[in-house]
């Protein structure tokens, strides 16, 4: 099955070919003919499935016929974040280059004037975040009664962000007769209700299991004391062949600090979060996309949908407290059939969030310790994967490694660990350079607290738990498994979807 079988015109096929695509993804294969037939579509699709082209391609096809009147856009696409809106706009440019489609990007943080000028000239496609669209609408700058195609993208996120009232207002002024395409990564009951409200007899298309993590991403979890997170991150970055990486923080205020600290340690890093000015956001993202910088320290503004080619790693500097965000974050890597690696840095206090994530993805995330990074690779090498430190080649090693096997080995982390534990600790004490330790020798009151991350496998688990426990409350310890307690037994908190 090729793009030419989907009913797209030659101009469009040529643009697709220029972009280097030959085969439609499953969602494209299913959605494009439906949209062309004029059917409403309810798409349940993870990011990275080619969803965006799944609606932009047929829209270009349809909009190629006919012309927009001034201030009366013919189609409307709603996106939750400015970056996503911009990304969709780029998609229209890429695929619409042989057609003369007028397009306007209505997002906040930039001047109204340019946007108004475009609207006045007449646009075929309006791509917007809800706030700015309503602003234009409220000022009477835009008329929505000629919108024939409505796309609501990332509906689950729109819901999370409280956009639904805005969306309802907007949909309320659109013509009742239109086609609507509604996409969501998940199909929670509230989302289903919304879909029922906005769609008419939709064709349901589902291409990914709900909340599944791409099996092209090798996941790992590193547990350290909260004071040692930055050090653990640096150590991970150094020991991995990081081409480029997203580094996610939970709080905006931590992002700048972490980014500066990374730069101080000689890394090439920029920051991205929603409190930055829009020009700064655009610039920082462009630098990352062009590989001018390799590390993007960011908030969840970048967690969903951002499609950046060949991202080799995702680091969660903080464990996301919303389990679904974990899936979205690590989905920034391992895209389009390539493989990627995701490392989550957790503190013992994050246990309940980790448990919720593991429950959601249906499998434990293999634990490593900072010193284990080499060992992990060693462990991987016997299933045909990763090179050792120093022995790795430049380029894109992730593209070819045999990830499914890695995932398979991850199913039984306890057994694996038991097998390798002894030699590993010997090896790591021998080989680990003094570098990381001496980097932070300034006296601190809790110095002994972060020293032990290094050797914690060598002490009794009970001791570890006590040290890492908050206050002095008694700690529950599961006995009888030595150091290798199955992850499910360590889940002390019953998982509940966050309120």
Partner DNA sequence: AAAAAAT
Summarize as ranges the residues that interact with DNA (CB under 7 A): 80-83, 107-109, 128-135, 138, 160-163, 250-253, 273-275, 299-301, 321-322, 498-499
User: Apex CA 225: angle with CA 496 and CA 368, to 5°?
Assistant: 80
Range list of β-strands (E), 91-238: 103-106, 125-128, 149-152, 179-184, 203-206, 217-223
| Pair of tokens at residue 50 | 């080619």
| Nearest residue to 304 (alpha-carbon basis) of 73, 55, 81 | 81
Q: Which residues share a beta bridge with 203?
A: 41
Smallest gap, in angstroms, from Cβ of residue 287 to DNA?
Answer: 17
Q: Which residues share a beta bridge with 206?
A: 44
| Pair of tokens at residue 166 | 């805005």
Smallest gap, in angstroms, from Cβ of residue 41 to DNA?
Answer: 24
Q: Which is nearer to DNA, 154 or 376 (CB)?
A: 154
| Pair of tokens at residue 228 | 């040692």
Smallest gap, in angstroms, from Cβ of residue 256 to DNA?
Answer: 11
CA dihedral sign of residues 34, 38, 40, 46: positive
Smallest gap, in angstroms, from Cβ of residue 273 to DNA?
Answer: 4
Q: Which is nearer to DNA, 238 or 252 (CB)?
A: 252
Q: Which is nearer to DNA, 41 or 133 (CB)?
A: 133
Smallest gap, in angstroms, from Cβ of residue 141 to DNA?
Answer: 12
Q: Which is nearer to DNA, 32 or 106 (CB)?
A: 106
- CA distance linking residue 258 with residue 93, whole number of Å: 35
- CA distance linking residue 131 with residue 409, whole number of Å: 46
Whether the CB-CB separation of 324 and 359 falls below 8 Å is answered with no
Q: Which residues share a beta bridge with 191?
A: none
Q: Which is nearer to DNA, 46 or 129 (CB)?
A: 129
Smallest gap, in angstroms, from Cβ of residue 182 to DNA?
Answer: 19
Smallest gap, in angstroms, from Cβ of residue 160 to DNA?
Answer: 5
| Nearest residue to 250 (alpha-carbon basis) of 155, 366, 353 | 353
DSSP H helices, 77-224, are 82-95, 112-121, 130-138, 155-160, 164-172, 189-198
Q: Which is nearer to DNA, 322 or 401 (CB)?
A: 322
| Pair of tokens at residue 488 | 């499910």
Q: Which is nearer to DNA, 162 or 172 (CB)?
A: 162
């Amino acid at each position: 099955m090729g793009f030419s079988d989907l009913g797209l015109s030659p101009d469009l096929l040529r643009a697709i070919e220029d972009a280097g695509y030959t085969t439609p993804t499953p969602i494209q294969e299913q959605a494009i003919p439906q949209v062309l037939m004029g059917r409403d579509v309810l798409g349940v699709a993870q990011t990275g499935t080619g969803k965006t082209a799944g609606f932009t391609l047929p829209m270009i096809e349809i909009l190629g016929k006919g012309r927009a009147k001034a201030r009366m856009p013919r189609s409307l696409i709603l996106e939750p974040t400015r970056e996503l809106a911009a990304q969709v706009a780029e998609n229209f440019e890429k695929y619409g280059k042989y057609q003369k489609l007028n397009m306007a990007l209505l997002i906040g943080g930039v001047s109204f004037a340019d946007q108004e000028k475009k609207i006045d000239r007449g646009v075929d496609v309006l791509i917007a975040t809800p706030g700015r669209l309503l602003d234009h609408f409220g000022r009477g700058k835009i008329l929505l009664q000629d919108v024939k195609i409505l796309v609501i993208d990332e509906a689950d996120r729109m819901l999370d962000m409280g956009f639904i009232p805005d969306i309802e207002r907007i949909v309320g002024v659109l013509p009742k007769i239109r086609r609507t395409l509604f996409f969501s990564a998940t199909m929670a009951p509230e989302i289903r209700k919304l879909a029922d409200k906005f769609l008419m007899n939709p064709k349901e298309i589902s291409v990914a299991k709900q909340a599944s993590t791409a099996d092209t991403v090798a996941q790992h979890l590193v547990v350290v004391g909260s004071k040692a997170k930055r050090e653990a991150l640096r150590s991970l970055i150094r020991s991995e062949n990081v081409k480029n990486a997203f580094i996610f923080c939970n709080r905006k205020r931590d992002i700048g600090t972490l980014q500066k600290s990374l730069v101080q340690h000689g890394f090439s890093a920029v920051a991205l979060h929603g409190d930055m000015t829009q020009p700064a956001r655009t610039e920082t993202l462009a630098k990352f996309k062009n590989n001018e910088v390799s590390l993007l320290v960011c908030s969840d503004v970048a967690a969903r949908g951002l499609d950046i080619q060949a991202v080799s790693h995702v680091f969660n500097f903080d464990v996301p407290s919303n389990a679904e965000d974990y899936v979205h974050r690590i989905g920034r890597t391992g895209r389009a059939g390539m493989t990627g690696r995701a490392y989550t840095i957790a503190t013992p206090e994050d246990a309940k969030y980790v448990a919720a994530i593991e429950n959601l993805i249906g499998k434990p995330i293999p634990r490593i310790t900072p010193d284990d990074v080499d060992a992990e690779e060693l462990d991987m090498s016997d299933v045909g994967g990763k090179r050792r430190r120093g022995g790795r080649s430049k380029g894109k090693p992730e593209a070819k490694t045999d990830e499914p096997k890695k995932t398979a080995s991850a199913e039984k982390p306890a057994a694996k660990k038991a097998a390798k534990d002894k030699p590993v600790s010997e090896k790591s004490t021998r080989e680990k350079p003094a570098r990381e330790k001496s980097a932070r020798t300034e006296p601190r009151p809790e110095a002994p607290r972060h020293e032990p991350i290094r050797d914690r496998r060598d002490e009794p688990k009970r001791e570890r738990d006590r040290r890492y426990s908050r206050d002095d409350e008694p700690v529950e310890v599961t006995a009888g498994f030595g150091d290798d307690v199955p992850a499910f037994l360590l889940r002390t908190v019953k998982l509940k979807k966050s309120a």
